[in-house]
Amino acid sequence: MKVWGKQTLVPPPTSDKSPHVRFLVKLVLLLGAIWYLLRNYIIVRTEPSTWISPSQRNSNTKCPQVEPLFPSQTTEQLDAMGDFLKSETFRNKSIQRLSGAVQIPTESFDDMGDVGKDPRWDSFPPFATYLKKTFPLVHSTLQLEKVNTHALLYTWPGTDETLKPTLLMAHQDVVPVPDSTVNQWTHPPFSGHYDGKFVWGRGSSDCKNQLIAILEAVEALVEAGFAPRRTLILSFGFDEEISGQDGAGHLAPYLISKYGHGSIAVIVDEGAVNVESWGANFALPGVAEKGYVDVDIVVRMPGGHSSIPPKHNGIGVASELITLIEANPYDPYLDDENPYLELLYCGAEHASEFPSKLKHLLHKRTTKSGTCSKSKKDHLAIEASKAGPEIKYLFTTSVAVDIINGGVKTNALPERTKITVNHRVNVGSTSKAVLNKIAHLAEQVAQKYNLTLNLYNSTETPSSITLFHRDTLLEPAPVTPTHPDSDKSTPYEILSGTTRALYGKSLIVAPGIMTGNTDTRYYWGLSEHIFRYGPGWDRDQDGLGNIHTVNEKVGVQAHLDTVRWMAAFVRNMDEADV
């Protein structure tokens, strides 16, 4: 007979054995058979049921999916909390909390002065006061530090200091509402109006919804008696919409000085959402961001009276350079590190309507073991880009001339014309490649009109083209690991399992990429596991809820789901071995 862990030989019963001995032999045989039948069941039940099985980890699948992940450590109070977060009582309370937050106009402007000097920062202390009043348990339990006056840093110390903390992010500020657009809103932009389905107003979906949802989840966990093993940190900047230098730009260095480089287990910030594509539903947590480069180009040419114009003046030459820049766009290119390539593999494996041509090109790329050379056309990227610009620019460096200034009077020729060109740098490329390309184009125009070309941050001279790059230059973000670890669970698996627990196994979790940048640009030194993800999902809401434009709104169901996701993710991370 095979007994678990060793071989045991049992002699057959003989006629000279006593009935008692024969009974013991039969009992041993029976117990051994029962153990043999149940051993697989017992092994399966004692392994974490949420992770990818070893067979999946070692398979050839390009897009493995984890099982839904539910917290295993629970109490009667935590179970009651789960029911409460689904109740009508909580729904009404949550609507009031979010509506109240939207009513405080925490606008940040591109020309903001120093913190403490520009009076436009004065809207932030009332918002902090509102949070303290609205979430009393958070403020009585967590440690609150104010960094650079308005940044809010909450810490809930865990009982096990050996575990790296979980960090949840959001930002307090919102995009300004131009006076000229106020009358275009269905409901006033800072009313926080609830129409039975949506909460309306600036910041309702970018991203006071995520900030309030995080605090609601933590408030509920405190009330339910949850005591974290893993320290939980909440980090809320206040100028994300104007590049985050005063908020996240101070928070991240403070956290690094306090905890050290690579000290955070996982970071979740605002970002990509759930979408329907190729006949399937996908959650697309952003695991990468494109880079960012602004280039200012100044054309200096002689002035004079406009009644005696030269063949070409500064504005005309600048316009020719703009035309040349727009005529030389970047080709689509899918680097091996680009998460959109992984999304394509997920679509090919799990989506019933995935295009056959894309599947063929994916297979061709895989079997040939590599990508095309960067100097050649990437046919897979070109085919994928046909879905539209919102897809194309996930794997293409974008170029946009956004600002132009030249001339001061109708009868005077312009002596100085300035244009600003914005680039979002593709994964696999660099800011250096962008700067070199635009310099090459500017050189062609400079030579044509016998102008001096002054490269990057040189001094302007008469009859010249001078290039400047701004301090906002940013390389593409490090890509968060998404592949399974053979030894333990990963933050990506925990995020995936939490998401599928909320929305069901029909939802496919795949890596996403951000064309814009969030405050996480400052947090790269704290963790390699950074996710930009908005877990709330309202199937009736188009796109991102009109962020940055008229009639911004968020579906209440999406907001409530965000609260439930945050509470579950905190608990799942608390139990995880990462």
Feature table: binding site for Zn(2+): 171, 206, 241, 269, 548
DSSP state of 247: T
Cβ-in-10-Å burial (0-12, 13-18, 19+) of 75 comes to: exposed
* Residue 235 near residue 163 (C-beta atoms within 8 A): no
Q: Which long-range contacts (CB under 8 A, 24 or more apart) does 397-402 make?
A: 397/290, 397/330, 397/423, 397/424, 397/425, 397/426, 397/429, 397/434, 398/290, 398/330, 398/422, 398/423, 398/424, 398/515, 399/325, 399/326, 399/329, 399/330, 399/423, 401/322, 401/325, 401/326
* Omega prior to 346 cis, within 30 of 0: no
What sections of 450-523 are H helices per DSSP? 491-503
- Catalytic one among 219, 240, 519, 561? 240
Token code pair at residue 127? 């918002």
C-alpha pair distances (Å), 40 with each of 7, 35, 55, 198: 18, 9, 15, 49
Is 460 one of the catalytic residues?
A: no
In whole angstroms, what is the distance from residue 284 CA to residue 339 CA? 10
463 in helix, strand or coil? coil
Q: Which residues pair with 554 in a beta bridge?
A: 199
201 in helix, strand or coil? coil
Of 475, 507, 495, residue with least CA distance to 578:
495
Residue at 222: amino acid letter: V
Annotated binding site: 171, 206, 241, 269, 548
Is 240 one of the catalytic residues?
A: yes
With left for phi above 0 and alpha for psi between -120 and 50, is residue 167 left, alpha or beta? beta
* Dihedrals phi, psi of 479, to nearest 5 degrees: -85, 125
In whole angstroms, what is the distance from residue 395 CA to residue 511 CA? 14
* Dihedrals phi, psi of 299, to nearest 5 degrees: -105, 120
User: What is the longest distance spanned by two Cα atoms in the chain?
Assistant: 130
In whole angstroms, what is the distance from residue 279 CA to residue 259 CA? 44
Angle at 265 between CA 262 and CA 269, to 5 degrees: 100
- The set of catalytic residues is 173, 240
